[in-house]
């Protein structure tokens, strides 16, 4: 059918409710809008769904959520997993509770029990909950840090990680096979509850989650010693982090935790923010104002589903607060954990540090110093979670820490996704240790630069929306593959990794070796002078991302090298 045929079907078929039809009638004279809403099905990708909320096949609504869930239910039944059930969590966005219920009632109608949280919860707690309950799968209704008009739907499997190959493709196949909305099952909530197929969960899981987080604390005595002295400003960005973050810090003994009042409570409009993303400096405006009033040591922010952490730390020399990238905060925590685990004799045998291919190369000298195996995986924390599963299956290594550049990390194995709640806890322990040793978190970061090298990374993003956007993005990737650059300015290309073809090509010799990682539409250029650049289309947004990294001799040198590499990249594309 054409997009106009689909539009008419939604307007006329009795399956769709009056509110949906009313919304669609209001765009009757706007063919461009009709086309955008109906020119395709909202794609169920390897992570699930994400899109603008509204009526239409290319939108997040109860019908697209229900249809995707029917596909997931069909897959679960084929895996004989229906008796294990599915855990469901949701965030503070528009329609999140409604989408969570639609998914639960579709599952229930398929004979699969749904465990639904009583109110909003962080994404990592869903990962923890489904493993604690012994579920076959999990669903989180969230659009993470996207603008308010978005929502999403992420699928997890029984190991607690987002679905990876081959199950991701198998689930996608089942979802695509559901072509008739009338075949999608659902049932009244009262009947699902009465049949024991809909169970509300909450406090008991929270308590177990908190207990697991506390196991990652290495020096509780330092926290106790510094609890009165250290000052922490925190903002949950109107999201799910508010209660669990405040609870864990209180139970650990931190006395001076100041929450940004304007951003404390859930708000699906994210009224105080242009963009609820801890990577955006403007998002910290209110938190930094409060930090200066309180003379805080550190400023922390979790994104709406509390899987990512952004931080600022006080520089006592300038009196200003310094922003940390995800690479910086991740390395700060990693170095602390590895150092203190080794010093206290609590490092497991065959320890492993896991990072993605676009995460800072500072991880290499840190892992080498502490005798820890460093493992690189594709971009996406699900691949870090997958490594934990592999370690458990093979006994080859013991996971200690994992991180990705986009402000996500995980200490411990209680969850199999990035966890901003445990990251807050670890960062605050680092801050307490620093204060006890007469230094700031920023001082410690400078010490690490001096020891390991002045690594600096950046991200350049091109957004190409609309029907032609994905074609333009693919054209850029095709051009780079067909005519790979030999240099980025003065930086020569040493090797090119094509993860789609599973080939690493040595530019000087032409020799090829396999990448050793799953197939993915990613190109990675190893450059001279410890530099690199990586091109990767986003899996969830209409963007192509260019990651890059350099190593300098000082902060200023690293910044200059980074700017030069960015300019050379822009000139190339």
Q: Regarding the domain delimited by 40-201, which CATH topology (the fold level of the hierarchy) does it fall under?
A: Alpha-D-Glucose-1,6-Bisphosphate; Chain A, domain 3 (3.40.120)
Alpha carbons within 13 A on the beta-carbon side of 470:
8
Q: Which CATH class is domain 327-452?
A: alpha beta
pLDDT at 467: 67
Catalytic status, residue 144? yes
SS3 183: helix
pLDDT at 540: 63
DSSP string, 328-388: HHHHHHHHHHHHHHHHHT-PPSSEEEEEETTS-TTHHHHHHHTT-EEEEE-SSHHHHHHHH
Taking 70 as the threshold, does the pLDDT of residue 8 lie above it? yes
Taking 80 as the threshold, does the pLDDT of residue 438 lie above it? yes
Q: Strand 543-552 relative to strand 454-463: parallel, antiparallel, unpaired?
A: antiparallel
pLDDT at 45: 82
Helix and strand totals (H; E) in the chain: 19, 23
Section 527-540 average pLDDT: 91
pLDDT per residue over 440-469, tens digit each?
Answer: 999 999 999 999 999 999 999 999 876 688
pLDDT at 409: 98
pTM of structure:
0.96
Report residue 502: phi and psi, to 5°. 55, 45
pLDDT at 555: 97
CATH homologous superfamily of 209-322 equals Alpha-D-Glucose-1,6-Bisphosphate, subunit A, domain 3 (3.40.120.10)
pLDDT per residue over 71-115, tens digit each?
Answer: 999 999 999 999 999 999 999 999 999 999 999 999 999 999 999
Domains of the chain by residue range: 40-201, 209-322, 327-452, 454-572
Same fold, 209-322 and 454-572: no
Percent of the chain with pLDDT over 90: 95
pLDDT per residue over 126-158, tens digit each?
Answer: 999 999 999 999 999 999 988 999 999 999 999
Cβ distance 432 to 256 under 8 Å?
no
Show contacts of 55-60: CB within 8 Å, 24+ apart.
55/10, 55/16, 55/20, 55/23, 55/24, 56/7, 56/10, 56/24, 57/6, 57/10, 60/95, 60/99, 60/150, 60/151, 60/152, 60/153
Displacement of CA 494 from its chain's centroid (Å):
31
Q: Which of 92, 96, 137, 144 is catalytic?
A: 144
Cβ distance 363 to 455 under 8 Å?
no
Structure tokens at 451: 């020891």
pLDDT at 538: 83
Q: Regarding the domain delimited by 454-572, which CATH topology (the fold level of the hierarchy) does it fall under?
A: TATA-Binding Protein (3.30.310)
Cβ distance 73 to 187 under 8 Å?
no
DSSP label at residue 486: S
Structure tokens at 21: 């039809």
Cβ distance 354 to 387 under 8 Å?
yes
């Amino acid at each position: 059918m054409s997009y106009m045929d689909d539009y008419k079907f939604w307007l006329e078929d009795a399956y769709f409710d009056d509110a949906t039809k009313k919304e669609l009638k209001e765009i009757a004279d706007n063919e461009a809008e009709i086309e955008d809403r109906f020119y395709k099905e909202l794609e169920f990708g390897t992570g699930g769904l994400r899109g603008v909320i509204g009526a239409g096949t290319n939108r997040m609504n109860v019908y697209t959520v229900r249809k995707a869930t029917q596909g997931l239910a069909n897959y679960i039944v084929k895996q004989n997993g229906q008796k294990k059930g599915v855990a469901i969590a949701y965030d503070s966005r528009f329609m999140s509770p409604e989408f969570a219920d639609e998914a639960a009632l579709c599952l229930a109608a398929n004979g699969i029990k749904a465990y639904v949280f009583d109110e909003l919860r962080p994404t990592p707690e869903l990962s923890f909950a489904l493993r604690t309950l012994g579920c076959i799968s999990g669903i989180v209704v969230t659009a993470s840090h996207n603008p308010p008009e978005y929502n999403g739907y992420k699928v997890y499997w029984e190991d607690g990680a987002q679905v990876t190959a081959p199950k991701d493709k198998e689930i996608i196949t089942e979802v695509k096979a559901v072509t008739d909305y009338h075949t999608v099952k659902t049932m009244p909530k009262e009947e699902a509850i009465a049949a024991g197929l809909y169970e509300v969960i909450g406090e008991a899981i929270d308590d177990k989650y908190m207990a697991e987080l506390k196991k990652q604390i290495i020096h509780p005595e330092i926290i106790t010693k510094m609890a009165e002295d250290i000052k922490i400003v925190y903002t949950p960005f109107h999201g799910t982090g508010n209660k669990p973050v405040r609870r864990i810090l209180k139970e650990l003994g931190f006395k001076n935790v100041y929450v940004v009042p304007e951003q404390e409570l859930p708000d699906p409009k994210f009224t105080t923010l242009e963009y609820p993303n801890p990577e955006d400096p403007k998002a910290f405006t209110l938190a930094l104002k409060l930090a200066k009033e309180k003379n805080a040591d550190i400023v922390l922010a979790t994104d709406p589903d509390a899987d990512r952490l952004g931080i600022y730390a006080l520089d006592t020399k300038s009196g200003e607060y310094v922003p940390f990238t995800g690479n910086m905060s991740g390395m700060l925590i990693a170095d602390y954990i590895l150092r203190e685990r080794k010093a206290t004799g609590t490092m497991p045998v065959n320890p492993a540090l896991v990072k993605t291919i676009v995460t800072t190369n500072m991880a290499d000298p840190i892992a080498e110093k502490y005798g820890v195996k460093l493992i690189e995986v594709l971009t996406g924390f699900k691949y870090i979670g997958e490594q934990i599963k592999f370690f458990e299956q093979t006994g080859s290594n013991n996971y200690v820490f994992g991180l990705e550049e986009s402000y996500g990390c995980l200490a411990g194995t209680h969850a199999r996704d990035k966890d901003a709640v445990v990251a807050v806890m670890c960062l605050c322990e680092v801050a307490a240790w620093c204060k006890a040793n007469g230094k700031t978190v920023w001082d410690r970061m400078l010490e690490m630069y001096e020891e390991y090298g002045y690594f600096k990374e950046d991200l350049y993003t091109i957004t190409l929306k609309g029907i032609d956007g994905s074609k333009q993005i693919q054209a850029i990737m095709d051009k780079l593959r067909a005519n790979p650059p030999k240099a980025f300015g003065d930086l020569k290309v040493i090797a090119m990794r094509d993860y789609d073809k599973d080939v690493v090509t040595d530019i000087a010799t032409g020799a090829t070796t396999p990448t050793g990682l799953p197939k993915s539409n990613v190109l990675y250029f190893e450059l001279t002078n410890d530099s690199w650049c990586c091109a990767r289309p986003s899996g969830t947004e209409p963007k192509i991302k260019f990651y890059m990294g350099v190593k300098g001799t000082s902060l200023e040198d690293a910044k200059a090298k980074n700017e030069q590499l960015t300019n050379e990249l822009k000139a190339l594309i």
